[in-house]
Amino acid sequence: HAKESGASVTFFHSDMLEKAQQRFNIEQDLGYALELNQLSLVYQPICKGENVLHFESLLRWQHPEIGAISPMTFIPIAEDTNQIHIIGRWVLAQVCQLLGYWQAQSNDFNYPGITVNVSAKQLVSPAFISFVETLIKQNNITPYKLGLEITESTLMEDEQASAQALQSLRKAGVRLYLDDFGTGYSSLSLLGEYVFDVIKIDRHFITNVTDSDKSSTKLCAAMIQLARTLEMDVVAEGVETEEQLEWLTHQGDVSIQGYLKSRPLPVEDLIHWHPACKMP
Ligand code: C2E
Ligand code: CA
Ligand code: CA
Ligand code: CA
C-alpha cells in the first residue's frame, strides 16, 4: 500500500484521494446495482389527520460490502454519470406498476397516490414526458394518483426546458409537487407560474416552529398562508414531534410527513396504512 513507500506519499494519501477512490467504486458498483437487485423502494406516508393521502417513494441501496448507502450520497453521483436516467425510469416503472395494481384491486378510486422524486436531468430529457405517459397508459392509472416531486434547484438548472416539461406534465394530469420549498432562490417567482398543485415545506423550517421567536417560524406560517391564497396544498416535511404537529394543525389545512407519523416503509407494510395498499 502507498502508505509504506515514503514521506511524500502523505500528500497523495489525502482524504480527497480516498474520497475519489470511494466515489469511483460507488460509481462502478451503482452500474450493477439494478441488475443485482440491490436497489429497492420504501414509501413514507403523507397524512391528513389519521389517514394517508399519498406515499413518497424513496430509493434505498443495499451494497453487499458497504451496507446501506444513502440516496444523498448516490443520487448526486448517478446524476453526474447519467445513471440517473436508467435508475429513474426503474423507480417510475415500479411506482406505476404498484399504483396500477392498487387501482385494479379497488372498486373506487379511494386509495393513496404515490410521489416520485425527479432529478433535473430526468425532467428535461426529451423522452421523459412520453415515458411517463406510456407508463400511465400501460398500467391503466388515473394520472393524478402519480405525483412528481421537483425541487427548486432542479428548475434552476435549465429554466426554459423545465418550464416546458412542467406544462406537458400538467397536461398529462399528474400531480406536481414543489419539493424543499423555501430553500432555493426563486421560490416566489416559481409560484407565479401556477403549475404546482402542492408545495412541500422543507424540514429545516419545521424543526423550529415551536419557537415563536424564530424567523423560520414566521416564514413557515407565511408560506402556508401563501399556498392557501394560491389554492395549493401544503405538505410539511420532517415532522418529528407532537409539538410541531400541534403548531401545524393550528395553521390550518396542512398534510404531515415525518417520523412522528411513520418512517419510510417497505411495500409489504403499506397495507397497515390503507386496506387498498396490497402487495402485488
Ligand atoms: P427528499 O426528497 O427531501 O426526501 C425526504 C427525506 O427526508 C428522506 O430522506 C426521508 O427519509 C427523510 N425524512 C422523512 N421524514 C423525516 C423526519 O421526520 N426527520 C428527518 N430527519 N428526516 C426525515 P432519504 O430517504 O434519505 O432521501 C434523501 C434524498 O434523496 C431525498 O430528499 C431526495 O432528494 C433523494 N432521493 C431519494 N429517492 C430518490 C429517487 O427515487 N429519485 C431521486 N431523484 N432522488 C431521490
Ligand atoms: Ca421529495
Ligand atoms: Ca423534500
Ligand atoms: Ca429535503
Residue 140, all three cell numbers: 391503466
From the alpha carbon of 264, which atom of ligand 1 is closest? 11
Task: Concatenate the DSSP letters of all residues of 105-164 into one string.
Answer: H-SSS-S-EEEEE--HHHHTSTTHHHHHHHHHHHTT--GGGEEEEEEHHHHHHTHHHHHH
Residues sharing a CB contact under 8 Å with residue 63, sequence separation 6 or more, in sequence order: 29, 33, 38, 69
* pLDDT for the residue numbered 1: 42
The CB of 100 under 6 Å from ligand 1? The reply is no
Ligand nearest to C-alpha 116: 1
Distance (angstroms) between ligand 1 centre and the Cα of 58 equals 6
Distance (angstroms) between ligand 1 centre and the Cα of 14 equals 30
Ligand nearest to C-alpha 206: 1
Q: How many CB atoms lie within 10 A of CB 5?
A: 10
**In terms of DSSP bridges, do strands 51-63 and 67-69 run parallel, antiparallel, or are they unpaired?**
antiparallel
Averaged over 164-193, what is the pLDDT? Answer: 85
Query: What letter would DSSP give residue 265?
Result: B
Give φ, ψ of 28 to 5 degrees. -65, -45
Is 80 exceeded by the pLDDT of residue 190?
no
* pLDDT for the residue numbered 14: 66
According to DSSP, the residues that pair with 45 across neighbouring strands are 55
The CB of 75 under 6 Å from ligand 1? The reply is yes
How many Å apart are CA 74 and CA 37, to the nearest integer? Answer: 16
Greater model confidence, 213 or 124: 124
From the alpha carbon of 59, which atom of ligand 1 is closest? 38
Nearest one of 176, 165, 53, 61 to 110, comparing CA atoms: 53
Distance (angstroms) between ligand 2 centre and the Cα of 105 equals 27
The CB of 117 under 6 Å from ligand 1? The reply is yes
HSE value, Cβ hemisphere, 13 Å, CA-based, for 7: 0
The CB of 31 under 6 Å from ligand 1? The reply is no
How many Å apart are CA 77 and CA 114, to the nearest integer? Answer: 25
How many Å apart are CA 159 and CA 178, to the nearest integer? Answer: 14
Alpha-carbon dihedral angle through residues 73, 216, 47, 108, given to the nearest 10 degrees:
-90
Closest protein CA for atom 40 of ligand 1: 117
Q: Look at 124-138, 149-163, 168-182, 240-254 and tell me which has the smallest mean pLDDT.
A: 149-163
At 227-250, the pLDDT tens digits run 999 899 999 999 999 999 999 999
* Mean pLDDT, rounded, of the chain: 90
Distance (angstroms) between ligand 1 centre and the Cα of 258 equals 10
Ligand nearest to C-alpha 149: 2
The ipTM assigned to this model is 0.97
Q: How many CB atoms lie within 10 A of CB 247?
A: 21
